[in-house]
């Protein structure tokens, strides 16, 4: 592999991506965007494996982070903290 070569493009969000988090134990990437969705991608196959609506009025997610053991994903807005249970 040549340094700097693009491996894939992860698509699906309608709005601008505002945050991302790497799963601590498996090759998953969670992204959040202004379209108020959280998407989870498998980084071995570069495919989307899950999507969930934030459903927090018009709040913008400021940050997402996986729990250290990987069992859930937290999405923080200025007003709320949403917790998503994961099945991997």
How many CA atoms lie less than 13 Å away from 86 in the CB half-sphere?
A: 25
Q: Is residue 7 part of a domain?
A: no
Q: What is the residue range of 41's domain?
A: 17-85
Q: Is there a domain that residue 67 lies in?
A: yes
Is residue 3 one of the residues assigned to a domain? no
pLDDT at 40: 93
In the sheet that 47-53 helps form, which strands lie side by side, from edge to edge?
17-22, 28-33, 37-42, 47-53
pTM for the whole structure: 0.83
What is the tens place of the pLDDT at every residue in 44-83?
999 999 888 766 555 677 789 999 999 999 988 888 888 9
What pLDDT does residue 29 have? 96
């Amino acid at each position: 592999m040549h340094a700097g070569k693009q491996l894939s493009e992860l698509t699906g969000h309608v709005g601008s991506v505002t945050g991302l988090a790497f799963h601590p134990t498996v090759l998953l990437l969670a992204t959040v965007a202004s379209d108020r969705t959280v998407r989870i991608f498998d980084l071995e196959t570069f495919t989307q494996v899950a999507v969930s609506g934030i459903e927090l009025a018009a709040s913008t997610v400021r940050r997402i982070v996986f729990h250290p053991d990987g069992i859930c994903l937290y999405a923080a807005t200025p007003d709320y903290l949403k917790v998503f249970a994961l099945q991997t």
